[in-house]
Each structure stands twice: as C-alpha cells, then as structure tokens.
C-alpha cells in the first residue's frame, strides 16, 4: 500500500509543495502551497511508523502534528481546484525527521596573541548557516575537517553578550540559536564556560540505587567519591534533588587539559588567570595559614553561585554575614580545598584561611563568568612573577 502511494505520487506528479514552519518538542508545523488555482483549503495528513496521524492543530494553511515515536513521515495532501477537480500529491512526499531533532555544536576560541576570534560549528546533516549576529562584527568563513569556522580580526567588546546563529533546515524551516557569551580582555568564552572534555572511570560496584533519605554526599562518602564525581558522571545539574529509586553510575571523573587555567602563588598572595597559556589578569587573594594550602595541581570540579555553607552539620544560608564563602565557590578535585568569595574583603591579601583561596566577590564573579568546569588549577609557592606565557 505504501509502495503504491509513493509510486503514484512519482508518476502523476505532486499538486502541492510542502513547507516546514516549525519543529519544537516533536510538534511539527507544516503548510502546503497548491501548484494550481485552489477552490478550497487543501487538507494534509501524515502516515508514520505507527500509522496515520491527524493534525493536532489546524489553522489557515497550517497543520501541526505530533511526530513523536516516528523517525520519518509520508505526507498526503488533497485539494480541489477552482474548476472542482480533485488534486492530490505533495512534494516532497517522504521526510526523515533526524535533521529536525538535532542541534548544532558550537564552540569558541580566541587567538590570544593576534586576537582573532573563531566560532566553530558542527552542522547537522542538511543544515546551512545563513547568518551570524554578534556585536555587528563581520565574519569570514572556511571549512576544515567537517567543521565550519567563522572568524573575525575585529576585537570584541568586553562584557556579557548574545551571539545569534541563524540556520536553514530542509524545506523552508529557519532556526536561530542564541548563545550567551562572556568577553574578558577581548577573549571570548561561553558565559560561565562549558565543561572541559573529561574521562569517566567506573568504580565498583558501578551502580547505586538511591534509597529514601540518602543524599549525594552520603553516597559519595560510601564509595570514596566526591559529589562532583557523581554529578558529572550522571549529568546531574542539581545535586540537592535526587529521587529515591534513581540508578546512579559510580565513577571518578578526571580532566586532562583545559583552555582556561589558574595559577595561585601562596607566597605572594596572587592568582593568575590564563587563557590557552596566555596571561590574562592577576588578582589578589587570601591564602591558607602556614602550609594550609599545599602546592600541586588540581581541577575545578564544580562551580556554585551563592553557595550555602555546611559547618560541622550546621546549615548557613547563602549571602549570610557568617557564610564566609561569598557569592561564588569553586570545588577543587581535592575536596578539602576550594576557591571562593568572601564576606570579609579586608582579609584579602592575608594568610588567614583554613586552606581555601579567598577572593573579592567581584573578582571571583568575573572568573566564574569566564572559565570552564575542568579548569586546571596549579598552586605554587615562590617569589617569582607570573610569566606572560605558561606551558601547562
């Protein structure tokens, strides 16, 4: 039956042209353009892997279908000409839905020496990039290794901005992707960064079923893991909301390299922010008393806005005067240590902490807006100045 329908459409031609108007959450809006003088509004039906489907919403030349649970659709269109003749057939007849269900992968990179700003785009099949709108900058294009690159020699303005990419999908659909970015000293990254590629190493017994009353903290302690290990390995955005019966993967998470890096010198009380090995800015910090902040290499496993403080079982809410974490907290791969803001700005520059690194709130908020989860943190103790270029 299906073969006969497709064959007849090919032999006798199609009386209607199909356009895709929108595709969101498996709701697909279609419209038809008659290739004849229509006497009435055409009708449109779909045949799918699960049978025929009627439009959920029908307006003037607009048909919205639920296309969940199918990978393809066959479009059936019927109309009547002004002379009363029945008209049928649609071009195209057959549509794969995979192109509409994908999203482009977009990433940023800035050459810190030449200040060339690059946008890398991995396009889904049958997508075309029509326009890039960012600070009215003009971009040039080239393709390499299956990726589309845009670049501009013009230095972007610092601050929070929105980058808009407009794409054309098959049969008339246009889609705009908006991304918030943070520009710092002319260097561009996703706002609050992204997550650096990571290695996930399973830990026996490999899974854990959450029981009533359990928390990520108690589960992590049970297996010698950290809360960020469980969050990253399981794609959990809010570790305070886990449901009984959830099956968690047990794994350690490791990072090998990062575009953004931090170097902390406990001898001078300074923190240096690097981008691709290039020194961006130096900030004052408070460090641990004596040897409380040991030299070594760490990784930022988690970043929190307005963190709560848990002190010997007591909950101290965010922004409380006695919550010394300030407005941001970066959990390091050694769970004993972190980098955070402060409620006592007069202590910055001193040896005062129990091992964590304290910063002015406005400084750590700037760094938080720029760096990635997985950023490498190197702690040193010497009297040397930070080099302009650092090989990590």
**Active centre residues (catalytic):** 340, 356
Backbone angles phi, psi at 195, to 5 degrees: -115, 125
For 173, residues 6+ apart whose C-beta sits below 8 A from its C-beta are 19, 20, 21, 22, 23, 100
Q: Tell me whether the omega of the peptide bond preceding residue 205 falls within 30 degrees of 0, making it cis.
A: yes
| Token pair in block for residue 116 | 């060339």
Query: For residues 35 and 115, what is the distance between their CA atoms, to the nearest angstrom?
Result: 52
Q: Which helix (H) or strand (E) holds 298?
A: strand 296-305
For 202, residues 6+ apart whose C-beta sits below 8 A from its C-beta are 249, 250, 251
Instruction: Return the bridge partners of 21, or none.
Output: none
- DSSP class of 26: T
Instruction: Return the bridge partners of 331, or none.
Output: 302, 338
For residues 77 and 118, the answer to whether their CB atoms sit within 8 Å is: no
For residues 129 and 144, the answer to whether their CB atoms sit within 8 Å is: no
Query: For residues 192 and 59, what is the distance between their CA atoms, to the nearest angstrom?
Result: 42
For residues 237 and 195, the answer to whether their CB atoms sit within 8 Å is: no
Query: For residues 332 and 264, what is the distance between their CA atoms, to the nearest angstrom?
Result: 13
Q: For residue 287, which of 350, 196, 212 has the smallest C-alpha distance? A: 350
Q: Which helix (H) or strand (E) holds 152?
A: strand 147-152
Other C-beta atoms within 10 Å of 4: how many? 8
Buried b (16+ CB within 10 A) or exposed e, 43-60: bbbbbbeeeeeebeeeee
For 10, residues 6+ apart whose C-beta sits below 8 A from its C-beta are none
């Amino acid at each position: 039956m299906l073969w006969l329908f497709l064959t007849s459409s090919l032999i006798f031609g199609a009386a209607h042209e199909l356009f895709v108007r929108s595709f969101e959450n498996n709701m697909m809006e279609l419209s038809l353009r008659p290739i004849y003088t229509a006497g009435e509004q055409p009708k449109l039906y779909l045949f799918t892997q699960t049978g025929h489907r009627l439009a959920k919403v029908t307006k003037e030349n607009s048909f919205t279908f639920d296309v969940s649970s199918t990978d393809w659709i066959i479009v059936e269109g019927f109309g009547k000409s002004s002379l009363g003749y029945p008209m049928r057939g649609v071009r195209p007849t057959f549509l794969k839905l995979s192109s509409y269900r994908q999203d482009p992968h977009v990433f940023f990179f800035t050459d810190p020496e030449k200040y060339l700003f690059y946008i890398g785009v991995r396009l889904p099949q049958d997508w075309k990039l029509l326009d890039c709108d960012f600070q009215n900058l003009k971009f040039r294009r080239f393709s390499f290794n299956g990726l589309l690159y845009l670049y501009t020699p013009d230095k972007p303005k610092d601050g929070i901005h929105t980058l808009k990419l407009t794409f054309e999908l098959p049969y008339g659909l246009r889609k705009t992707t908006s991304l918030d970015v943070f520009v710092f000293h002319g260097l561009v990254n996703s706002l609050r960064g992204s997550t650096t590629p990571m290695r996930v190493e399973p830990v026996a017994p490999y899974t854990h079923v959450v029981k009533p009353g359990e928390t990520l903290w108690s589960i992590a302690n049970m297996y010698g893991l950290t809360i960020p290990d469980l969050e990253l390995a399981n794609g959990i955005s809010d570790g305070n909301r886990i449901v009984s019966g959830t099956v968690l993967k047990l794994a350690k998470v490791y990072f090998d390299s990062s575009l953004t890096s931090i170097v902390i010198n406990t001898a001078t009380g300074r923190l240096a922010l690097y981008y691709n090995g290039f020194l961006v800015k130096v900030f004052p910090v408070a460090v641990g008393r004596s040897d409380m902040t040991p030299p070594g290499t760490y990784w930022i496993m988690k970043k929190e806005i307005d963190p709560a403080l848990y002190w010997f079982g007591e909950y101290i809410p965010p922004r409380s005067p006695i919550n010394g974490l300030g407005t941001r907290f970066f959990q390091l791969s050694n769970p004993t240590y972190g980098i955070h803001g402060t409620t006592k700005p007069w202590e910055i520059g001193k040896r005062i902490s129990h091992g964590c690194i304290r910063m002015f709130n406005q400084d750590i908020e700037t760094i938080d807006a720029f760096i990635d989860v997985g950023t490498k943190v190197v702690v040193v103790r010497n009297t040397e100045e930070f080099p302009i270029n650092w090989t990590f």
